[in-house]
Structure 1
């Protein structure tokens, strides 16, 4: 029971962080891209690199 309450509190805090700071979502996306980029078989392409937040496209191999 305590573990589930802790997880619920964690989720609530993450939701609050996302509401209060939209950059939090961008940071999480960058962290995910960083993890994906560690795989030698993956390729990441960015559409419209001049945009303040370019859209990433991922190619995870054949």
Structure 2
């Protein structure tokens, strides 16, 4: 997890996730990106809207 300061200057842990776009034919990862927790919902909604298969796991 990455530490970043909050408004008070104290460190806060930010959870990050690896999101892989999967090939429709064989399920292999086509590309990959790492995002913060706040972005996951938006990416999931976009993928669902176009029927895209994705795999999400915590980033290391």
| Pairwise same-fold verdict (TM > 0.5) | no
Compare relative contact order (CA 8 Å, sep 6+) and give the higher one, 1 or 2: 2
Give TM-score, length-normalised by structure 2. Answer: 0.29
- The structure carrying a bigger helix percent of its residues is 1
Give TM-score, length-normalised by structure 1. Answer: 0.29
